[in-house]
């Protein structure tokens, strides 16, 4: 869920304190909604685009997102004091995924050709560890319930549409691998800052396969995509063929 907070001061020229509170609450809600819209601007959709990039290309989308934000729920409201003056603080929030989530607006085909990268070497795959070749035979354990990608130390940023790639750039996991309505409903992955939280995530299940990327796919905008060795890629696909955790979007990233 995306959340944002706003503040409104109680007008001192309003003698009716109940009416003053309601006015301040209205100001705080508008402030929170404006902050939520700015937060959506900064949402990383994939390695190439943010929410702002999408909305700059389409006035219709900008209007749709603005209308969507107006419907955000009030999650919390409380009276606070700012330098001795009474104020109301309001927190609003909206779902990222699901029928009423932000994903139904932003997880759509890219709106335009990307701007040329400021660094001519981008995009590129950076391998930070040797690529282990796939073995000729694989032992299938067949009991994995999900996938945890341990991307700590790789400067990977959370995104709505991350990808998992092979060392040659072949996509193993991403928006293009699934029905878009399913991705909009569930999201491709969840993110955590530590392994304990990742293992506790329902997406991982009771026995997740944990893989460490050997590199990342770098773009000028962000680094959201990870690269697996050929050996790990083969293991991932073989195990998924047995239990289908990728097809159920049961993927968790651990990032810094």
List the domain boundaries for the chain.
Answer: 2-106, 124-254
What's the pTM? 0.87
Given a cut of 60, whether residue 153 has pLDDT beyond it is: yes
What is the per-residue pLDDT for 115? 53
How many Å apart are CA 212 and CA 200, to the nearest integer? 18
| Mean pLDDT across 74-86 | 96
Beta strands in 83-175 (DSSP E): 85-94, 124-127, 146-150, 164-166, 171-173
Given a cut of 60, whether residue 172 has pLDDT beyond it is: yes
Given a cut of 80, whether residue 119 has pLDDT beyond it is: no
How many Å apart are CA 204 and CA 202, to the nearest integer? 5
Given a cut of 60, whether residue 112 has pLDDT beyond it is: no
Among residues 87, 93, 94, which one has the least CA distance to residue 25? 87
Q: Is 86 left (phi over 0), alpha (psi -120 to 50) or beta?
A: beta
Question: Which pLDDT tens digit goes with each residue over 15-24?
Answer: 999 999 999 9
Tell me yes or no: is domain 2-106 CATH 3.30.300: no
Task: Name the residue with higher pLDDT: 162 or 220.
Answer: 162
Given a cut of 90, whether residue 137 has pLDDT beyond it is: no
Summary mean pLDDT of the chain: 92
Beta bridge partners of 148: 210, 252
Distance of CA 252 to the CA centre of its chain: 11
Question: At how many degrees (to 10) do helices 17-41 and 59-70 cross?
Answer: 140
């Amino acid at each position: 869920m995306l959340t944002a907070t706003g503040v409104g001061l109680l007008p001192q020229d309003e003698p009716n304190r109940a009416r003053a509170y309601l006015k301040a609450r209205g100001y705080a809600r508008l402030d929170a909604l404006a902050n939520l819209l700015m937060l959506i601007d900064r949402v990383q959709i994939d390695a190439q685009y943010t929410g702002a990039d999408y909305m700059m290309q389409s006035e219709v989308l900008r209007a749709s997102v603005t209308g969507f934000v107006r419907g955000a729920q009030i999650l919390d409201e409380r009276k606070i004091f700012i330098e001795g003056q009474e104020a109301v603080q309001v927190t609003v929030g909206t779902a990222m995924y699901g029928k009423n989530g932000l994903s139904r607006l932003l997880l759509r085909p890219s709106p335009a050709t990307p701007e040329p990268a400021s660094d001519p070497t981008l995009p590129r795959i950076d391998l930070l560890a040797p690529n282990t070749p796939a073995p000729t035979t694989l032992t299938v354990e067949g009991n994995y319930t999900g996938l945890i990608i341990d991307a700590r130390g790789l400067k990977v940023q959370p995104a709505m549409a991350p990808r998992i790639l092979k060392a040659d750039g072949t996509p193993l996991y991403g928006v293009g691998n699934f029905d878009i309505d399913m991705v909009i409903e569930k999201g491709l992955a969840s993110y955590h800052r530590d392994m304990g939280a990742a293992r506790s995530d329902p997406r991982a299940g009771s026995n997740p396969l944990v893989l460490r990327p050997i590199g990342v796919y770098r773009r000028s905008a962000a680094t959201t995509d990870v690269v697996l060795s050929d050996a790990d890629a083969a293991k991932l696909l073989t195990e998924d063929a047995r239990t289908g955790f990728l097809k159920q979007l049961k993927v968790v990233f651990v990032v810094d």
